[in-house]
């Protein structure tokens, strides 16, 4: 058991066949994207880190002395309750069994091993996605969403949700708190993405391809804990280490988004927090990314949205 100042969790062993793999190639760092390819927000995106997060984030002295903004890494411990966590895990497992039943040994870019993933469009209201943005740009109303969030919470007699899946409305109610952290209308969201990392899985240091998302990326952490490390692409001593406990929400924005690599390693020397080893365990991240606006503008997608 790992304990952090009043926080403790037990990590169950995942009932999954253990997989071993080897993969060629010794490089661990991708080339930084050209600055012209990286989306730039009109103004910095600032999320206020709650005081409870301080014990879970460690900034290197170089990070602080060079003036990088601590707010570019956002962590919100206990963002969801125990019951919400368990509901999310159950629903993610159902989606994974249907859409991604087996673990993959390697990603096409060789940065992630022993994982499975899928996107869930049913959990994103049209009004928050590309269709809603295009409609608003064109001065039109978005197509009616058959599983929009209800105006009231569920009651004991009736579910109160109009959903495709049994719990999709409840899931949207939880995820709406995530999207609600950002100023209304600032970002256009892609469908939530489920990333299931096996207990033997790892994410090697990399910078995301800016062609596939915009200004922010984050995740709601489920099941096991992990240590995520962020290093500047030109000076790895400029770094941030973040302990990601279950039920926590994190986001990386602004300079850290494309100027820093990020990783979750199986290296036991890096899987340590305040002198205690962080156990390796299966973990699910429910990922959130905003869409990159086309060079021609959102209206250019009017025929496809």
Mean pLDDT per 10-residue section of the chain, whose length is 305 residues: 50 36 36 55 84 96 96 96 98 93 69 90 90 89 62 46 69 94 92 95 90 90 97 96 98 93 91 93 97 89 71
Q: For the chain, give the secondary structure using H, E and C.
A: CEEECCEEECCCCCCCCCCCCCCCCCCCCCCCCCHHHCCCCCCCCCCCCCHHHHHHEEECHHHHHCCCCHHHEEEECCCCCHHHHHHHHHHHHHHHHHHCCCCECCCCCCCEEEEEEEECHHHCCHHHCHHHHHHHHCCCCCCCCCCCCCCCCCCCCCCCCCCCCCCHHHHHHHHHHHHCCCCCCCCCECCCEEEEEEEEEEEEEECCCCCCCCCCEEEEEEECCEEEEEEECCCCCCEEEEEECCCCEEEECHHHHHHEEEEECCCCCCCEECCEECCCCCEEEEEEEECCCCCCCHHHHCCCC
Is the full-model pTM beyond 0.85? no
Q: Which of 121, 47, 76, 97 is nearest to 291 (CA)?
A: 121
Q: How far apart are CA 105 and CA 115, in angstroms?
A: 7
Site of tokens 């979750």: 264
Q: What is the pLDDT of residue 15?
A: 36
Q: What is the pLDDT of residue 107?
A: 58
- Two tokens, residue 3: 């304990």
Q: Which of 73, 29, 97, 51 is nearest to 240 (CA)?
A: 73
Q: What is the pLDDT of residue 110?
A: 63
| Residue 190: Cβ within 10 Å count | 22
The residues spanned by each domain of the chain are 56-301
Architecture of domain 56-301: Sandwich (2.60)
Q: What is the pLDDT of residue 31?
A: 41
């Amino acid at each position: 058991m790992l304990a952090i100042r009043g926080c403790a969790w037990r990590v169950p062993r995942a009932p999954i066949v253990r997989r071993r793999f080897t993969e060629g190639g010794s490089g661990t760092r991708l080339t930084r994207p050209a600055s012209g390819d990286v989306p730039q927000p009109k103004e910095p995106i600032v999320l206020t880190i709650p005081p409870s997060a301080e014990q879970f984030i460690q900034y290197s002295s170089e990070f602080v002395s060079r003036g990088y903004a601590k707010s570019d890494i956002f962590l919100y411990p206990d963002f969801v309750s125990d019951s919400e966590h368990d509901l999310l895990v159950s629903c993610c497992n159902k989606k994974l069994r249907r859409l991604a039943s087996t673990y993959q040994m390697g990603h096409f870019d060789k940065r992630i091993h022993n994982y499975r993933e899928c996107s869930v469009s049913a959990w994103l209201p049209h009004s928050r996605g590309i269709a809603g943005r295009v409609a608003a740009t064109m001065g039109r109303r978005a197509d009616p969403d058959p599983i929009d969030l209800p105006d009231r919470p569920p009651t004991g007699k009736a579910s109160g949700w109009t959903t495709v899946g049994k719990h999709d409305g409840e899931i949207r109610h939880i995820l709406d708190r995530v999207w609600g952290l950002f100023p209304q209308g600032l970002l256009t969201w892609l469908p939530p993405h489920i990333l299931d990392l096996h207990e033997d899985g790892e994410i090697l240091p990399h910078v995301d391809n800016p062609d596939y998302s915009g200004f922010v990326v984050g995740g709601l952490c489920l099941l096991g804990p992990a240590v995520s490390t962020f290093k500047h692409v030109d000076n790895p001593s400029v770094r941030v280490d973040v302990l990601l406990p279950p039920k926590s929400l994190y986001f990386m924005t602004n300079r850290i988004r494309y100027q820093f690599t990020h990783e979750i390693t199986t290296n036991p020397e890096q899987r340590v927090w305040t002198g205690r080893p962080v156990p390796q365990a299966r973990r699910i991240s429910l990922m959130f990314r905003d869409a990159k606006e086309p060079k021609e503008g959102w209206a250019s997608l009017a025929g496809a949205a």
